[in-house]
Every structure is written in structure tokens, then in C-alpha cells.
Structure 1
Amino acid sequence: MHLKRKRDASRDGVILETTLDVLAETGYERMTTDMVAARAGASKATIYRRWPSKADLVVDAVESLRAEPATVAADTGTLAGDLDSLLDASGNPSAARKSKVMMGLLSLMPHDADLSGAVRRRIVGPRTEAIRTAVEREQARGGIPPDRDAGLLASVVAAMLAYRSIVTGEPVDRQFLTTLVDGVLTDR
């Protein structure tokens, strides 16, 4: 009888951190699993057992920059507060690093179906759904008319966050979120 070895999860952090280092140095297109394996002191088989594709590895590495991926907005009583709970707007180095990595990945998405699918499935989709939940909560509180399309408003918020982070390079902070909510989304 053949027994499978248990996966040693203690290596995951090293592999993900190494992935971010290699990604920052070479970019997604030139990064290879061989590079990550060599630098992390792991075999390619170890990496492929955990992550079936380079895209999955990179998405997990990006997600590892945030302690707990936010997939549900906290109910803070305000839409701006709920949105703030989803974001890492602290300005800490890992948030800035994540933003730079995401900018590089977003530019490649139209050209790499695996990467595009992984980013949409694991990052963009869950975040947009969490924003939608926050918008629906605000509708229930009466701050947004119930006839407005919560899905469309969630897409507008996501687009504004990406535009501000990627195109203008300005911070996505509580002040911006409050201005976005009060000036665009609600009837205040």
C-alpha cells in the first residue's frame, strides 16, 4: 500500500515570499517556477503540488501580502467604513508592494488567460462581491436608493479604486472613500 506524504505547509511562506521577490525583479512574463524553486530551496515538484500553475502561485503570493484576505466587508454603519474595512489603506510597505505587483499583473491579464482567470476568480471577483454586499447594506440603511443597481455600483467602486491606485498613484484612504461615497454613490 502506497501512503502519501503529508504536505509540509511550513515551506509555503518561504515559497510565496520568494515568488514576490522574483516577481518584483523579473516581472511575471520572465518569472519561472524554476527561478522560484531554486531561490526558495524547493523542488519544482513541491511547488507544483501546491500550485498547479504559475498564475495560481503568483495570485497566492499577492494574497499573502494581506494577513487575511477580506471577502466580507465589516458592517461599520457607513458605506465608507465598510469599504475601508475591505482595503489595506494603511500605507504600510506590504500594501505598497502589493499595489505594484497588481499593477504589473493587470497589464498582463489581456495577454495571459491563466493569469487573467486566476486574478478574476481569486481576487477581483471576491472583492467586487464584497463591495456589492457593502452597497446593498447601504441601500438597506437608506443611503442609496433601492432602485440603483448594486452590482453596477460595486463595479464603479472597484474601477475607481483601481484607477486611483494604478493610474493616478494616489492613495486609497478613508478620505477618498468618504468623498467617493458622499459625492458619487449616495444621495447626501
Structure 2
Amino acid sequence: MTTETARDAEPARLGRKRDHSRDQDILDAALDVLAEVGYNTMTVDMVATRAKAGKATLYRRWSSKAELVVDAIACMKRPLPQERDGTYVPPDTGTLRGDLVAMVKPKAVTDSNRHLKIMIGVASMMSQEPQLFEALTAIMVKPRVESYRVVMQRAIDRCEIRPDIDVELLSSLGPAMAMYRAMYEQQAPSRESIIHLIDTVILPAVGLSAPLENADE
């Protein structure tokens, strides 16, 4: 076993405090490589090359590949913009469908797809590092569920949909389907597929119908 392989196999030390101000380029490079080749194929050499940094520099800051990946995931930007003291506030268009579709912006889909690729890339590591799974869930899943919950409650408050609908269940459908496609079908959801889910599953579930013509969205 080579020195690099041995280091890469070491368990990550979670929960350390670190000043990431000098490390962001390296962490971003680690996420890019992880999304492209997966954790098992990824090497510190690949990250160093992508970040245009010396491998020794990386090992002075992270003792193993696993430790580098954990730090990179922990610093990964959330796919939704943060407002109101860090809480994402979904668009308010006046209708449930309008709000749901407005959340599916092309850039948000692109960023989310990258994050899903990262999750696929690190899937083999999740069973060994539960905290990594928790970090990914906090970054990728919970904000989306919360945004769906907010727009559902708005629709209830304006009497657009019944107050007895299962908000918690319906709020998880979109994020759950995205995760399913990523983890089991190895495909990131497109904007069109998300809107199709909204129109054919979520809206009928709350007693609404999608417009007949949605080509301009």
C-alpha cells in the first residue's frame, strides 16, 4: 500500500475547527473532482492538480483524502439563496403552482445537479461516516423541504388548497424524487422533469390542475 493510499484510507476526523479562508480553492477543487469521478477514484493528486497546489500543501492541512472530503462537504454552499437571517424565502407569485415553478430556476437546477453528483460520488463513504450523510442532508434536502412547506402553507392561508392536506408528506415529494433519480437512476433531474412532477403529482394531490399550456415556462 502506497503512502498516499494509506493516508486516503484513514478515517476522517470530524468536528474539527478550521479557518477555511485560505482553503476555498482546494475545497472547491475537491468537490469538482468528487462530482466527476466519485470518492473511490478520487485522489489527492487529482485535487492538487485541479487546485494548482502542491500535494504536500494539501497533506499539511488534511491528513487523508477522507478528511479533505468531509471538510469540503461541510463548506459546500447551499443550493438555495439565503435570506432573512439565513432562512430561504421562496418566491411569492400568488399561486401555489407559480411559487413551485418559480423555485425551479435554471441556475438553481444546475447547482442542485452538481450537489447531487457530489452525493452520488460520496455515497460509498456515507455508511462509514454518518456525520457526512447528516451534513449532506442539512445542505441539500432540508432547505428544499422547507421551501415546499412554506409555499404549501401560503396556499392554505389564502384558501387556495384545503387546510387538511398532508403538508409534510407533499413537501418531501420533490426532494425525494430528486434524490431517487440521483442515487438509483444516476441522473440529475432537469427543470422539465421537476415541473412535470409539480403538474402531474403535487398539484393533483392538493386538488389543483396545471394550465393546459406551459410551454413558455
TM-score, normalised by the number of residues in structure 1: 0.67
1:127 to 127, 136, 144: 144
TM superposition shift of 1:8? 7.6
Alignment partners' CA distance in 1, 2:69 and 2:153: 35
Partner of 2:190: 171
1:28 to 36, 39, 45: 39
Query: Aligned letter for 2:81?
Result: E
Aligned pair in 2 of structure 1 residues 133, 11: CA closer, same or farther (>3 Å)? Answer: same
Name the Cα RMSD after superposition. Answer: 3.7
- 1:60 equivalent in alignment to 2:75: yes
Unmatched 5+ stretches in structure 1: 1-6
Alignment partners' CA distance in 1, 2:68 and 2:168: 30
Partner of 1:101: 118
Aligned pair in 2 of structure 1 residues 19, 30: CA closer, same or farther (>3 Å)? Answer: same
2:204 to 179, 183, 188: 183
**How many residue pairs were aligned?**
176
Alignment partners' CA distance in 2, 1:118 and 1:27: 18
Aligned pair in 2 of structure 1 residues 128, 34: CA closer, same or farther (>3 Å)? Answer: farther
CA deviation vs aligned residue, 1:9-51 (integer Å, no higher than 9, x gap): 4752x22431123213441345466763565225456579xxx
CA contact (8 A) 2:109 2:190 kept: no
TM-score, normalised by the number of residues in structure 2: 0.60
Query: Aligned letter for 1:123?
Result: M
Q: For the pair shown, which has the larger CA radius of gyration, 1 or 2?
A: 2
* Higher helix fraction (1 or 2): 1
Indicate the percent of aligned positions where both proteins have the same amino acid: 31
TM superposition shift of 1:53? 6.3
Partner of 1:112: 129
